[in-house]
Structure 1
Amino acid sequence: MADSRTVPRTRGPVARVFLWLGGGVIAFAATFWVVTATTDLALSVGVYGTPGTYKVASCHDTDASRKNSDISCYGDFTPDGGGADDAVYVHLEDTGHDYPDGTEFAARQGLEPETIQRAGIRGVTDELWQIGFAAAILCWLAYMAVRPPQSGRPNPGRVLSRREKVAERLMGGVVVCVGVGVLGFLAGLVEEIAF
C-alpha cells in the first residue's frame, strides 16, 4: 500500500478545466495590461508621438461611491512650437492624479489625437509598476502550467529535468517582475509626495 504522504494529489478533470479556463482569462487580462502599459511607456519615453505640453483645465473624481478615486481631467494639449490655434482639447480618464487647475506638464500625443501620456520620469514610473506586476502574473501562470507535479520525496542528488529548469527560470522571472513593479510603485509614490 502506497504512503499517502508521498503520492501527489491529482485534480479531477472538471477542476482542471475550470483552472485552465480561469488561468486563460487571467492571462488574457494580464497580457492586455502589459501591452497597453508598454505602449504608454514607449510614449512616455519618447519612442513615438508628438511632444508638447498638456494644460489642465479641471479634474474631478468620477467614482460616484467615493470609495475609490477615479480622477478624470480636462485640458488642452499644445504641440511643441505650436500656438493657441494648434491646441487640442483632450479628456484624460483615470489619471491617478488630481492635478490643480492650470497645471502644465510635458506630454506626448500618440497616434490618436486623444491619446496623451505624461512624458519624462513621472510618466515612466506611472507605467513601470503596471508592467512589472502584470508581467509577474504572466510568469506565475506560466510557472503553474510548466512546473511538474511534486513527488513529495526529497532527492537532493537528482538532476533537474528541462521542465524543472524552465519552471525555476519562470519563478526567477516572477521575483524580478515583482521587484520592478514594487520599485516603480515606490518611485511614483515618492514623486507624488515630493512634488
Structure 2
Amino acid sequence: MRVLGWVCGGILALVTAFWCVTATADLALSAGLYGTPGTYKVDTCIDTSNTRKNSNYDCYGDFTPDGGTADDAVYVHLKDTGHDYPDGTEFDAQQGIEPQTVQRVGFWGIVGELFQVAVCVTILAGLGYQAIKPRRESHSREPSRRQKVADKVGYAVVVAVPVGILSLIGMAVEPAP
C-alpha cells in the first residue's frame, strides 16, 4: 500500500509541477515581466460548456502591439477566459513568445493567474510535507531535524492557501474591463 501511495504521489507531483511551471510563466506574462505589451480587442466570446451550471468561455479577437497599426494585429483565440466579455471589449494584454499566447496584464490579470500558482504550491508543499515528515513521532523534547524541515515545508501551505482563497475571491468580484 505504501508503494501505491508513493507512485500516486509521484504522478500527482509531476502533473502539478508541470501545471505550476505553465501557471508561473502565465503569471510572469500577466505581470509584464516578458513579452510584447499591447491591447486585446474581443470580437466574440462563446460558452463552450455543455452544462447550464458552469460556464467556460473561449474568446476570439485581435492583439495589437503597442504602437502598432491594424496591419500588425494578430488574431488570437483565448481559451477558458473565465469571463463572457462583451463584443468590442478592449483590455491591456501581453503577448508571449508564441504569437497565440496572450494574457491580460495588470492587477486583475495577476489575480487570475495567482490562484493557479497558489493551488500548485499548496499541492506540492503538502506532498513534500507528507514525504519528509517522520513516520513515528519522537518522544524527546526536541523535534528531529527531519520534523523541523517538514514543518518549514508545511509553512508554504499556510501561506499558499490564503493567497489562493483571496485570489479566488478577487476573480469573483472582478469588474468588467
- The aligned amino acid for 2:59 is C
Corresponding position of 2:154: 171
State yes or no: 1:18 paired with 2:1: no
Deviations 1:158-187 (Å, cap 9, x if unpaired)?
A: 111110001111111111111211122122
Corresponding position of 2:135: 149
The number of residue pairs the alignment matches comes to 177
State yes or no: 1:135 paired with 2:121: yes
In 2, the alpha carbon distance for the partners of 1:67 and 1:16 equals 39
- Mapping 1:49-68, distance limit 5 Å: 49-68=35-54
Percent of aligned positions with the same letter in both sequences?
Answer: 57
Q: 1:79 aligns with which of 65, 72, 78?
A: 65
Corresponding position of 1:118: 104
State yes or no: 1:105 paired with 2:91: yes
Q: 1:33 aligns with which of 19, 25, 44?
A: 19
Q: Unmatched 5+ residue regions in structure 1?
A: 1-14
In 2, the alpha carbon distance for the partners of 1:100 and 1:67 equals 20
In 2, the alpha carbon distance for the partners of 1:141 and 1:24 equals 9
Deviations 1:11-64 (Å, cap 9, x if unpaired)?
A: xxxx11110111011111211121111101111111110000000000011122
Question: Residue 102 of structure 1: CA displacement?
Answer: 0.6
Structure 2 counterpart SS, 1:101: coil
Of 120-129 and 181-190, deviating more is 181-190
Q: Unmatched 5+ residue regions in structure 2?
A: none
In 2, the alpha carbon distance for the partners of 1:140 and 1:69 equals 30
RMSD value over aligned CA atoms? 1.6
In 2, the alpha carbon distance for the partners of 1:113 and 1:54 equals 13
In 2, the alpha carbon distance for the partners of 1:163 and 1:140 equals 15
The TM-score, its normalising length taken from structure 1, stands at 0.86
In 1, the alpha carbon distance for the partners of 2:70 and 2:16 equals 40
In 2, the alpha carbon distance for the partners of 1:95 and 1:68 equals 13
Of 142-151 and 91-100, deviating more is 142-151
Alignment CA distance shift 1:65-1:183 (3 Å):
closer
In 1, the alpha carbon distance for the partners of 2:173 and 2:106 equals 15
Structure 2 counterpart SS, 1:58: strand
Structure 2 counterpart SS, 1:168: helix
Question: Residue 67 of structure 1: CA displacement?
Answer: 4.2
The TM-score, its normalising length taken from structure 2, stands at 0.94
Question: Residue 68 of structure 1: CA displacement?
Answer: 3.0
